């Protein structure tokens, strides 16, 4: 008996497009859910018949495919991925949630690649869905991935759309609270080392910094981009000191950048916090490995990972989870302020 292998190429996205409904609606119909309108049910059933789609364990359509794999896509280079504790915490949270499911995690570090290889692999049907973390304005390939499989973003998407699912922390409030703490400690010439302004986290933390200063009637001190890396933080600190008018405090938008800044401050013969107070962001292991230990804004990275995985699993099960989840940050006071 011959087998119509053309069925294997049919995806749930094709069924959804033909029926004019969402992917979740098709999944509900295939899985026998009653939470579908009669009109949508008829449209999906007609599309299934027209496309010769037969849900069974052999079919590689999303409603019944058994890859049981989720892709974690990180558009960064390997140095940043393996050197930043933030990613380790995120991955731990994702993996902890997937360990309570039948899914496994595939990691894609999309460096030195405009996304073509990653996109082709994802669109081939190798994974059922994707989590995308640490994306920049230039990472347009993620739009092609989001068109192929369900996606949950770590952080607000750079091109946010109403239908997007993402988990983020309140970066604006985090930047505002950090800067307000410096003001409360009597600091008045306050600068910041930002993350990349091609990333929403970098933009939002800078916004919070500016809001806190404006509320206190203070002018912003030096603003330098440190790229969310230790070397970038060190370079930004050198540029600030080279101006010859060092601030008395800095909000540094990641602990890694703060570590780099601390090394330059010490080399310049300045003391923390006496000459310059420092607040970081993340509360990663870096914060307690430097001297003085960093006052920092804690973001619950492990929880972010768990939430992202849970939302994606809900999508794959045909459920309709909340689109936007925002987690709180928390000031952790140590010795650098």
More confident: 335 or 143: 335
Q: Using the predicted structure, report yes or no on whether residue 92 has a pLDDT greater than 90.
A: yes
Q: Measured in Å, how far apart are the chain's first and last C-alpha atoms? A: 76
Q: Which long-range contacts (CB under 8 A, 24 or more apart) does 269-273 make?
A: 270/246, 272/336, 273/335, 273/336, 273/337
Rounded to an integer, what distance in angstroms lies between the CA atom of residue 40 and that of residue 46?
10
Rounded to an integer, what distance in angstroms lies between the CA atom of residue 257 and that of residue 120?
34
Query: 81 and 91 in contact (C-beta within 8 Å)?
Result: no
User: For all residues of the chain together, what is the average pLDDT?
Assistant: 89
Identical fold for domains 69-168+301-326 and 171-298, yes or no, is yes
Q: At the topology level of CATH, where does 1-66 sit? A: 434 Repressor (Amino-terminal Domain) (1.10.260)
Greatest mean pLDDT among 30-39, 118-127, 152-161, 195-204 lies in 195-204
Q: Using the predicted structure, report yes or no on whether residue 194 has a pLDDT greater than 80.
A: yes
Task: Report percent pLDDT > 70 for the chain.
Answer: 91
Task: Report percent pLDDT > 90 for the chain.
Answer: 65
pLDDT of residue 6: 40
Domain boundaries, the chain: 1-66, 69-168+301-326, 171-298
pLDDT of residue 121: 85
pTM of the model: 0.79
Q: Please report which helix (H) or strand (E) contains residue 224, including its range.
A: strand 223-225
Query: 190 and 220 in contact (C-beta within 8 Å)?
Result: yes
DSSP 185: T
Q: At the topology level of CATH, where does 69-168+301-326 sit? A: Rossmann fold (3.40.50)
CB count, 10 Å around CB of 66? 11
Q: At the topology level of CATH, where does 171-298 sit? A: Rossmann fold (3.40.50)
Q: Using the predicted structure, report yes or no on whether residue 2 has a pLDDT greater than 70.
A: no
pLDDT of residue 303: 97
Query: 190 and 250 in contact (C-beta within 8 Å)?
Result: yes
Return the sign of the alpha-carbon dihedral for residues 57, 317, 302, 118. Answer: positive
Listed range (13-17, 64-68, 195-199, 268-272) with the worst mean pLDDT: 64-68
Rounded to an integer, what distance in angstroms lies between the CA atom of residue 212 and that of residue 251?
11
Rounded to an integer, what distance in angstroms lies between the CA atom of residue 317 and that of residue 103?
12
Encode pLDDT of 104-142 as tens digits. Answer: 999 998 865 566 788 888 888 889 999 999 988 888 888
């Amino acid at each position: 008996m011959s087998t119509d292998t053309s069925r294997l190429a049919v995806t749930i996205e094709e069924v959804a497009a033909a029926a004019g409904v969402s992917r979740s609606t098709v999944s509900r119909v295939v899985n026998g859910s009653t939470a579908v309108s009669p009109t949508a049910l008829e449209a999906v059933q007609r599309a299934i018949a027209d496309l010769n789609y037969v849900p069974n364990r052999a079919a590689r359509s999303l409603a019944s495919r058994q890859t049981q794999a989720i892709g974690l896509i990180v558009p960064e280079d390997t140095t940043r991925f393996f050197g930043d504790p933030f990613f380790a915490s995120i991955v731990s949270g994702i993996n902890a949630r997937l360990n309570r499911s039948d899914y496994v995690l595939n990691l894609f570090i999309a460096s030195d690649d405009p996304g073509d290889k990653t996109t082709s692999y994802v669109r081939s049907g190798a994974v059922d869905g994707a989590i995308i973390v640490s994306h920049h304005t230039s990472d347009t390939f993620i739009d092609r991935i989001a068109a192929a499989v369900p996606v949950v973003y770590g952080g607000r998407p750079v091109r946010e759309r109403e239908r997007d699912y993402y988990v983020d922390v309140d970066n604006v409030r985090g930047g505002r609270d950090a800067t307000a703490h410096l003001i409360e400690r009597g600091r008045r010439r306050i600068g910041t080392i930002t993350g990349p302004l091609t990333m929403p986290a970098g933009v939002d933390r800078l916004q919070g910094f500016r809001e806190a200063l404006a509320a206190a009637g203070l002018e912003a001190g030096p603003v330098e981009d440190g790229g969310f890396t230790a070397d970038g933080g060190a370079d930004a600190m050198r540029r600030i000191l080279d101006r010859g008018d060092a601030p008395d405090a800095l909000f540094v938008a990641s602990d890694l950048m703060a570590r780099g800044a601390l090394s330059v401050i010490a080399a310049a013969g300045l003391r923390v916090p006496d000459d310059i107070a420092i607040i970081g962001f993340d509360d990663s292991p870096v914060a307690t490995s430097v001297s003085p230990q960093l006052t920092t804004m804690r973001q619950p990275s492990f929880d972010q990972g768990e939430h992202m995985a849970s939302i994606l699993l809900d999508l794959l099960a045909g459920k309709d989870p909340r689109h936007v989840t925002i987690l709180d940050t928390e000031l952790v006071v140590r010795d650098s302020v």
